[in-house]
């Protein structure tokens, strides 16, 4: 069964009926390798295997991307993180903001399996990449979480902290994966506290201070009940 997402090109009456083709989660893709190492260290504290080379691309199933505002998980050790998301549609590149919600317990065994465990949440609004490419590094990224009832700033940075779409597009062309319907999650920025938080709610946004606009999304995380035996 195909996964169809209805996306809005912000500031216009245009919509995109995106039939998801292939999906890739990037990892360890910061522009500053010292900050990349900090993120690797965060994960290493949880027992996650350290990558031998960076960046990394993890293919995941095409049914995982969603614009939902609610996901369900099987245990507490899962978390989301803010990322920009590149989308190939209508012969163009678009960008939005998202979260590749990850099973951190499973991640200590297999990073690819942990990426496959839960949905990849994206906002319903998108921008044309062409409209922001000249001021790309000024786009701001911010994520807030609610954990144990307390709302707190979780991540704050900008697209300058991550590899650029131009760098990724070169890689996509080399890999022959720049196809219609493909989505690419950029990898994330560091957390404010330099540690992961297993939260019950995630709010994230990408802000364009030049064109004075913002893309926002949020979702809550619900715990499934224990097995019925």
pLDDT at 38: 78
Domain-located, residue 227: no
Tokens 């942990």 map to which residue?
Answer: 114
Domain-located, residue 229: no
pLDDT at 152: 98
Provide the domain count of the chain: 1
Domain-located, residue 72: yes
In the numeric block, which tokens belong to residue 2?
Answer: 């195909």
pLDDT at 44: 79
pLDDT at 181: 97
Contact 96, 84 (CB under 8 A): yes
Domain-located, residue 228: no
pLDDT at 48: 77
CATH number, domain of 11, equals 3.90.850.10
Name the stretches of the chain with pLDDT < 70.
none
pLDDT at 50: 73
pLDDT at 34: 78
Residue 35 φ then ψ, to 5°: -70, -35
Q: What residues make up the domain containing 43?
A: 4-222
Domain-located, residue 20: yes
Q: Indicate the pTM of the whole model.
A: 0.92
pLDDT at 55: 84
In the numeric block, which tokens belong to residue 40?
Answer: 């690797």
Domain-located, residue 138: yes
pLDDT at 49: 77
pLDDT at 39: 72
Domain-located, residue 141: yes
């Amino acid at each position: 069964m195909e996964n169809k997402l209805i996306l809005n090109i912000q500031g216009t009456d245009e919509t995109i009926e995106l039939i998801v083709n292939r999906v890739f989660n990037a990892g360890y893709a910061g522009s500053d390798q010292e900050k990349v190492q900090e993120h690797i260290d965060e994960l290493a504290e949880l027992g996650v295997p350290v990558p031998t080379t960076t960046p990394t691309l993890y293919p995941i199933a095409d049914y995982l991307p969603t614009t939902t505002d609610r996901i369900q998980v099987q245990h507490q050790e899962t978390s989301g993180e803010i990322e920009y998301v590149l989308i190939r549609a209508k012969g163009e590149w678009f960008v939005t903001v998202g979260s590749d919600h990850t099973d951190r317990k499973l991640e200590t065994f297999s990073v690819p399996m942990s990426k496959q465990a839960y949905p990849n949440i994206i906002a319903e609004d998108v921008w044309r990449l062409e409209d922001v490419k000249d001021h790309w590094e000024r786009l701001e990224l911010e994520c807030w979480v609610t954990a144990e009832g307390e709302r707190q700033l979780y991540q704050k940075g900008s697209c300058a902290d991550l590899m650029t779409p131009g760098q990724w597009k070169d890689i996509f062309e080399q890999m022959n994966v720049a196809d219609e319907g493909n989505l690419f999650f950029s990898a994330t920025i560091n957390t404010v506290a330099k540690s992961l938080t297993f939260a019950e709610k995630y709010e994230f946004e990408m802000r364009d201070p030049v064109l004075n606009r913002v893309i926002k999304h949020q979702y809550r995380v619900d715990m499934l009940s224990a097995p019925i035996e």
